Amino acid sequence: MSTPIVSVPDVVLASEFPSLADRPAGTYNAKAKSWADSENAMSIRNREIALTAQVNAQAANERAVIADTRATDSNESAIAAALSAAQSESSNQSAAAIAAAIGDDAGLPSLAGNGKKALRVRADEQGVEWGPSGYELGDVLSTSRLLESPEWLPSDGSLYLQSSYPELHGVVGNLPFDPPAPLPSPLSGAGATTSVDEADGYLAIAKTTSPFVHMFVQAGDTYSALPAPAELPTSATDISLSAGGDYLAVIQGASPWLVVYKRTGTTLTKITVPAPSGSARLCRFSPDGTHLVIGREASPWIEVYKRTGDTFTKLAAPAAVPAGATAGIKFSADGRRMGIKANGHPLCVFSRSGDAFTRLPDLSPPASAGGYDFGLSRDGLMLFCEGRLYEEQEGTYAQVDAPALQGAPHDAVAFSRAGDFLALFGSPSSTNPGPLSVFSYDGALFARAADTGISFSGSGVLAGLFSSDGTRIIVSYSTISNVYKNFGYDPATLFHTPRVPFHAGGLRNYIKAKP
């Protein structure tokens, strides 16, 4: 015999609590007692209501089971009696009516249209509602079944419109294709490459043979060469582009050591700047283009220029710079942190505020005194060097666990400007030059995003970097400078699902695409 559904008792409300005005009238105590009694009665009634709701829920469940059984029996009887059409319709209507009645009697949400969903307590804990069966947006499911629901998409790297799945794109973001697609090389040959830099669609490459500096402007997948400057440097050992590609700094091997060009349209014009104190090795513009840092071979080891329009003014040298020939200078994309490597000294980091550069405490553990490359994240809170990831906390960089990144030092290290990708180029060995590896970063963990299959021959990678918009990877080695599309699709309108490898034969992988 099934549990009966019973009427829910009426709510009992508490009486009014006495006020101070009741004291002179002599009714305060009586009203207080009446209020206490009513509170007790309300508590008892609330318990009765809760128990009644529990009984009704149990009754509703029993009736749902009965309804399901009756529907099954009805269908079997219909087949046996060759009256399937009429009896099936009647059975379905009866089941729907019973389910609706059960829902109404028990205060439950409608069963209609909620197949494969789970009943859960509402956030306000005042009732129940239908919700997802356990998978959240972006979760991946491996199954032997073929899913054709619009809520699930194959997690196989297929392309989709962002406008069709805006919520999923918000979770997945833009992942690089595997592997990156090579573009025609802007410049091959013309002597060994000594340096490369990119800023907002402009690419500069330094070579060992005249005209020594080559500048290109990007249009789609093509890089078009700008005319060589009318006044050439005597050589080019390092170069740096300012934001927008407006200024090109060149280190040459003879006095005055530093040459700066201003770009106007496609024309590069040499401008007058104060000479460094002696022979220089490296140069690097800050991301906003207001400071130019020069690394030298002798004291003062670091010199800083401030740019105001076309005027470059030499500032006082930062204090506590490493006393060795400069081997590397890099800024974080927001310009707040600057890393310096010098021969015979471990990597050190400076904070930048206005025109002031202040050295931060040494890394823990310190990076070695080797000449291996390093990279700073967009906000400077992460630093990667020699196969180790460091994280800054209150001005101190300490090593953190990053299993995906652990390994040998690399020839070149680059974070994308947005901070969502890290590229590691080669390894310092002519016999084992190593591959290009790309990792994605979601704000918490690094994960390998692309097994590129790209390796480098010769003596290793000279320079590697992301384009300013993160859509291209630029690498120079030997006499070659190559550009790869980090996205093999339009990242403004498209995205692709993660490519999940099969873990066993017959399994299919799907990603939850709709909330």
- Per-chain mean pLDDT for the chain: 81
Average pLDDT over residues 21-31: 72
Answer whether residue 70 shows pLDDT above 80.
no
Location of structure tokens 């909620």:
114
Residue 105 contacts residue 5 (beta carbons within 8 Å): yes
Q: Which residue has the higher pLDDT, 340 or 130?
A: 340
The pLDDT, as a whole number, for residue 386 is: 85
Per-residue model confidence as pLDDT tens digits over 145-174: 888 888 999 887 777 889 999 999 998 887
Q: Is 168 helix (H, G, I), strand (E, B) or coil?
A: helix
Distance CA 65, CA 98 (A): 11
Q: Which residue has the higher pLDDT, 95 or 387?
A: 387
Distance CA 137, CA 120 (A): 18
Per-residue model confidence as pLDDT tens digits over 434-481: 678 888 776 777 777 655 667 766 566 788 899 998 888 898 877 778
Greatest Cα pair distance in the chain:
109
Average pLDDT over residues 194-206: 94
Strands (E), 159-276: 159-161, 181-188, 193-199, 202-207, 213-219, 222-225, 238-241, 247-251, 258-264, 267-271
Answer whether residue 95 shows pLDDT above 50.
no
The pLDDT, as a whole number, for residue 429 is: 54
Kindly indicate the confidence band of residue 1, based on its pLDDT and cuts at 50, 70 and 90: low
Residue 402 contacts residue 390 (beta carbons within 8 Å): no
Q: Residue 489, class by beta-carbon neighbours within 10 Å (0-12 exposed, 13-18 middle, 19+ buried)?
A: middle
The pLDDT, as a whole number, for residue 339 is: 96
The verdict on whether omega for the bond into residue 256 sits within 30 degrees of 0, i.e. cis, is yes
The pLDDT, as a whole number, for residue 477 is: 77
What are the domain boundaries of the chain?
Answer: 22-117, 175-490
The pLDDT, as a whole number, for residue 99 is: 47
Q: Is 195 helix (H, G, I), strand (E, B) or coil?
A: strand
Answer whether residue 187 shows pLDDT above 60.
yes
Where is average pLDDT lowest: 5-19, 49-63, 92-106? 92-106
The pLDDT, as a whole number, for residue 108 is: 61
Whether the full predicted model's pTM is greater than 0.85, yes or no, is no
Per-residue model confidence as pLDDT tens digits over 273-325: 999 999 999 999 999 999 999 999 999 999 999 999 999 999 999 999 999 99
The pLDDT, as a whole number, for residue 189 is: 65
Average pLDDT over residues 188-210: 89
Kindly indicate the confidence band of residue 89, based on its pLDDT and cuts at 50, 70 and 90: very low
Identify the CA nearest to 393 among candidates 381, 379, 377. 381
H runs (alpha helix) in 271-340: none
Kindly indicate the confidence band of residue 81, based on its pLDDT and cuts at 50, 70 and 90: very low
Where is average pLDDT lowest: 23-37, 104-118, 140-154, 181-195? 104-118
Q: Which residue has the higher pLDDT, 63 or 388?
A: 388
Q: Which residue has the higher pLDDT, 425 or 190?
A: 425
The pLDDT, as a whole number, for residue 253 is: 94
Average pLDDT over residues 211-240: 94
Among 61-70, 325-334, 442-451, name the most confident range: 325-334
Q: Which residues contact 467 (CB under 8 A, 6 or more apart)?
A: 198, 201, 218, 473, 474, 486
Answer whether residue 139 shows pLDDT above 80.
yes
The pLDDT, as a whole number, for residue 77 is: 55
The pLDDT, as a whole number, for residue 176 is: 64
Residue 338 contacts residue 357 (beta carbons within 8 Å): yes
Distance CA 12, CA 446 (A): 58
Kindly indicate the confidence band of residue 504, based on its pLDDT and cuts at 50, 70 and 90: low
The pLDDT, as a whole number, for residue 3 is: 74
Say if strands 388-393 and 382-385 run parallel, antiparallel, or are unpaired: antiparallel
The pLDDT, as a whole number, for residue 458 is: 59
Per-residue model confidence as pLDDT tens digits over 401-428: 888 787 766 888 999 998 878 888 876 5
Q: Which residue has the higher pLDDT, 118 or 245?
A: 245
Q: Which residue has the higher pLDDT, 407 or 104?
A: 407
Note the CATH number of domain 175-490. 2.130.10.10
The pLDDT, as a whole number, for residue 83 is: 39
